[in-house]
Structure 1
């Protein structure tokens, strides 16, 4: 049975943007939050890939603002999504990874990791809850991975959202094993079904403000593309970094369904009254798609694991063809959506991010700040570009401040310092050459951890058999 659509009550709280840019005045815009899964920073043609094709996403990006230093709040699925939807860093909600924090073999883990929370607590105020209270009808379509049901967290409609981090059963091939997600044609493809559901929701709510989370499962495993698209890319010249036809087919299917959404907005005259964000929950999987010049990929807190595509489009408000080098994060989306909708931050809510609207709508600079990542956990899997045969992630923290980025290991206290302006690939550790900068960033990192109550594991693991 298909989920019924709740018709939200429109309240009088409004905000008007667009006049400074000569655009239309927009009161209480629609908001569409597109979150791809495991799509890396270099996995789109607008980002520089010569193998993958993404004309619809490229157009979306070029019609708004491209953030060249856009980040996910974590390097894998669940913690990134939790941070974005709550607007809070991981220590506030306790979600650091998927499943257990003690991943890998115990004999390889030097420390006892901090316990992990797997489901987002329903007491934590979320982005859709605040928007719903302000009169938005809210829908989640696609991957959830934050607990059993998005309806517990402020959504009126749920299509395909469940515990699973990947499509179970037949994967992307129908029939599906998701709530409220039923094939309508034999042999249809999951990404296409989700795209059709998004179109249906938009058309059913075009006369009231809506908030749509379109969180596709693509490009998460299982790597399954549509046969005709796989055959297309088998005939195309690959690049050194991108050479997987099935992966390329999945990128194209994602792109086609983003195109459906954008075409639907234009068809119904919603184009200039809708704020659209496109991003990814973390970096790409290294073994399937290299993110060069970035180092490593999903699961690592080097740039390849956390720097992601981030585009924001709102005609008449955001200047077409604009870009920003300002470092921003998924935790900034919550306050951005609130300001765009003219909604104040609820007194009971703590937000770690900042609104991007001054930058997006008026070109103003944001106050200089640091971005943080905290992962007191282990995540198994070899990370060749980190020279680690056991783990993609070991316990530690990271700070980016200005052009500088500092990694701190909790196992041995080791520091790594990089200047991303000169060394985006994090190849040249500058701790020895610039100890003062490392100390400065470490002090900021320690102060942030103390302020936010971030746990640091110190207990040694008696099973450890390492060097």
Structure 2
């Protein structure tokens, strides 16, 4: 006969074990999230999005497993505003995150690099406010382990860096917009947030290895990992082997570097830059390292994977390393080449693979989408003031509709790459750009003119007028700041 004390002990042990396994099961019901953000990657810079020169087999496989968004936009033609929109779900203009953090402010416009331009650029906010409830904080509050690796560029000083914005681990994130210290893309990096590796170690592969190690160490609990590449931002640096590979490939394909001066000093019209191609492939290899870690740890079916770029490809300045054709212009411009980017959401066996969605979406949408897909009910309550809409139903059923008609952009600055201060509204395929230098409008019907070559503002004046009113109403509602005409100072 079993001793009473022994029996009580067994019962207690059973209840504790049951509670533990129930808790473990509940945790595993929460999907992991892996968010991959690339810097300056253009809309057609992937094989799965049309490139015949760059090789991206790992990302192409991710696209085949998930949903491709062919009409996806960044909230800005430059990096920091888009990154803020991902973290907050808000349009950058709402809190004046309208230029890349570190860009010159107009305090002393006589010494500003735009001093000979007709406008003084608008003042912008230089740090992602700590009062913002970020995507990382939402997952951390829900019990997720949070991890950041790579480019942050959302705060000038340390108190605004990832570890103070919801990330428990920060590898490499600081105020820099590119790898501008040390040996840049190769170790030693000279980055206070990233210990140097062996001499000659390549940065994207190091960031991928750090992310893969984090996944392996945290496979028993839900995690939110944010891999934010410095690639493929300048400086243009790749390995000798990859550069040689693409020099040979360029010769085999009879490609030459071609530029057209129509929209900027140098507008690249072919994808043929060997070093840039090597950077794209190295970034793809890094994505493969992380996906392999998910597969090795049997986590692929329980992990939502997002792939995105922070603005369009660099095609009109700084060496013009890529082409965004058929899109017009590139990074720093409000034309499609500056704001339309590749986007993929994959969740094996939960999202139908191989789908392509042409619904217009924007970087503000990630926060409510991931909150809903992961089932973070408490966080949904905290996000009532955001501008993004959830795409959760769309990724599960590509025929579903989302409850939004217009998209907006506000960029009251001169882009380093040649773009001018302006604001944009897009509705039902119509895109109106309002330029502040001369209070001029351009109107394009993207469904028939993706290249933005036929300005219809005079022909379709009623449509232009209606869109202009909606745009100005939205700008007033968000409290947007504007550039100032020098004659008004």
**Superposition TM-score, scaled by structure 2 size:** 0.85
Q: Which aligned pairs between 1:344-383 and structure 2 lie closer than 5 A?
A: 344=377, 345-347=380-382, 350-363=385-398, 364-381=400-417
Question: Which residue does the alignment assign to 1:152?
Answer: 164
Question: Which residue does the alignment assign to 2:336?
Answer: 303
| DSSP-derived class of the 2:486 partner | coil
What displacement does 1:247 show? 0.5
Tell me if structure 2 keeps the 8 A contact 1:271–1:315.
Answer: yes
Gaps of 5+ in 2: 1-19, 256-268
Tell me if structure 1 keeps the 8 A contact 2:114–2:414.
Answer: no
Question: Which residue does the alignment assign to 1:448?
Answer: 474
Q: Aligned partners of 1:132, 1:275: CA distance in 2, in Å?
A: 16
Aligned-residue RMSD, C-alpha: 2.3
Question: Which residue does the alignment assign to 2:52?
Answer: 50
1:321 partnered with 2:334: no
What displacement does 1:179 show? 3.4
What displacement does 1:125 show? 1.1
Bigger CA drift: 298-307 or 338-347? Answer: 338-347
Q: Aligned in 2, Cα 1:373/1:60: closer, same or farther, shift over 3 Å? A: same
Which of 193, 200, 208 is equivalent to 1:187?
200
What displacement does 1:170 show? 0.9
Q: Aligned partners of 2:437, 2:26: CA distance in 1, in Å?
A: 49
| DSSP-derived class of the 1:334 partner | helix
What displacement does 1:101 show? 4.7
Q: Aligned partners of 2:278, 2:330: CA distance in 1, in Å?
A: 20
Q: Aligned partners of 2:142, 2:115: CA distance in 1, in Å?
A: 51
1:109 partnered with 2:117: yes
Aligned residues: 436
Tell me if structure 1 keeps the 8 A contact 2:89–2:365.
Answer: yes
User: Which has the larger Rg?
Assistant: 2
Tell me if structure 2 keeps the 8 A contact 1:332–1:354.
Answer: yes
| Deviations 1:299-337 (CA, angstroms, capped at 9, x unpaired) | 001000000000000012210101100000111000011
What displacement does 1:180 show? 4.1
Question: Which residue does the alignment assign to 2:175?
Answer: 163
Q: Aligned in 2, Cα 1:32/1:394: closer, same or farther, shift over 3 Å? A: same
Q: Aligned partners of 1:400, 1:106: CA distance in 2, in Å?
A: 28
Q: Aligned in 2, Cα 1:15/1:414: closer, same or farther, shift over 3 Å? A: farther
| DSSP-derived class of the 1:69 partner | strand
Question: Which residue does the alignment assign to 2:8?
Answer: none
Question: Which residue does the alignment assign to 1:78?
Answer: 80
Question: Which residue does the alignment assign to 2:370?
Answer: 337
Which of 271, 274, 293 is equivalent to 1:242?
271
Q: Aligned partners of 1:10, 1:47: CA distance in 2, in Å?
A: 43
What displacement does 1:118 show? 1.6
Q: Aligned partners of 1:374, 1:169: CA distance in 2, in Å?
A: 35
Question: Which residue does the alignment assign to 1:212?
Answer: 225
| DSSP-derived class of the 2:271 partner | coil
**Superposition TM-score, scaled by structure 1 size:** 0.89
Question: Which residue does the alignment assign to 2:11?
Answer: none
Tell me if structure 1 keeps the 8 A contact 2:123–2:481.
Answer: no
Question: Which residue does the alignment assign to 2:266?
Answer: none
Which of 279, 289, 292 is equivalent to 2:322?
289
What displacement does 1:415 show? 0.6
Question: Which residue does the alignment assign to 1:198?
Answer: 211
| DSSP-derived class of the 2:366 partner | helix
Q: Aligned partners of 1:332, 1:15: CA distance in 2, in Å?
A: 27
Q: Aligned in 2, Cα 1:132/1:330: closer, same or farther, shift over 3 Å? A: same
| DSSP-derived class of the 1:108 partner | coil
| DSSP-derived class of the 1:182 partner | coil
Question: Which residue does the alignment assign to 1:401?
Answer: 427
What displacement does 1:107 show? 4.0
Bigger CA drift: 392-401 or 150-159? Answer: 392-401
